[in-house]
Amino acid sequence: MNWLSRFNGPQTLGEGGVFWSLFVVTVIVLATVPLYAEFFIVNNLAYFLLWTFMALGLSLIWGHAGILSFGQTAFFGLAGYGYGVISINLGDAHGLTWVAFVGALILPTLLAAVVGYFMFYGGVRDVFVGIVTLSITLVMETFMAQTAGPEWAIGTARLNGFNGMSGMPPLTIPWFGDDSIMLDGNPFYWFVLALVVVVYLALRWLVNSRFGNVLVAIRENPDRAEMLGYNVRLYQLAVFTIGGTLAGISGVLYTTWGSYITPSAMGLTAAALPIVWTAAGGRKDITTTLVATVFLLWVSQTLAVKGAQYALVLMGVLLLVVVLLAPDGLVLLVVRGIGRVFRRGQPAGSNNGAL
């Protein structure tokens, strides 16, 4: 199909009948989970999925444009607090939570655009981008941690320092009369799943478009890309801003999921975790990043039952293994191996069911 070809290309794994059949089956299976699973499982799945937006954004920034950023959690936290402040002040009547949703996404988008502008047009490159973005993240965490006093309030919303902000209303859809549909439990899970599918497909289209190909050229050699006539700084600013918006989506969904957010969401540990998820999956591919993020979050939660330190140790060891033995990512390495085995079993010249 012509329209399906828009989502295939050299910058993403997976094409043909087998891949897209697996994709549709996976989405259907995930969509039907609330019909037979306990609330605890559905709630956990929603939690795993809501983090994938931040990881996908980092895959776009780091994997495709070659910009290592530790700022995803800064955008995450800003959007989370933004949603909390706006939604608490506006309330949840008449669909005003969607105003809070949009308003909260504008904040990290603007911050990413401003920071990106001064970094890229100011000549900041390579490892110094990581230093600048990490500094911004830690400054934001330090600032929010000292907002415990009663004077730190925006309208009726108290920031509460390390105690965290709570009491945000969930997203609601206005309905007939005074009734409204609250996106909590199963509806929230379906909403997050649908949003993941839409964003995933949109990113597949984006990275396989001319824009995505230029990003890869910049990743491989920014000086050469500039010599070919591309406005490298503008492309870097655009992709950095998109990544900030995606991290903001995770921040808003996290805040609505637990009706709670703390400054630790922007701490050093939180800033490092998206790096591990993306590196372990294969930062140059959004599909492997998506799979690795959900899997590693599940493993981390399982280990956290025995002690939070076990999950952190595993993440550290995993990052070390990836850097030393599998720089392209463990999941990407496994997928490519499966693809080679699959193609070996096909008749010569056949690629109709290519992975």
Q: What is the pLDDT of residues 211-261, one digit of tens each?
A: 999 999 999 999 999 999 999 999 999 999 999 999 999 999 999 998 999
Which residues share a beta bridge with 80? none
Q: Angle at Cα 193 formed by Cα 69 and Cα 307, nearest 5°?
A: 60
Query: E strands of the chain, at which residues?
Result: 153-154, 157-158, 165-166, 172-174, 180-182, 260-261
Q: Count the neighbouring beta carbons within 10 Å of the beta carbon of residue 113.
A: 16
pLDDT for residue 346:
60
Amino acid at 27: V
pLDDT for residue 104:
95
For 325, the token pair is 């033995």
All residue ranges of the chain with pLDDT < 50 are: 351-354
Contacts of residue 286, defined as CB under 8 A and 6 or more positions apart, other chains included, come to 12, 56, 59, 60, 63, 200, 203, 204, 207
Terminal CA-to-CA distance of the chain, rounded, Å? 16
pLDDT for residue 353:
43
Amino acid at 338: I
Q: What is the dihedral of CA 159, 162, 167, 168, to 10 degrees?
A: 70
* pTM reported for the whole predicted model: 0.90
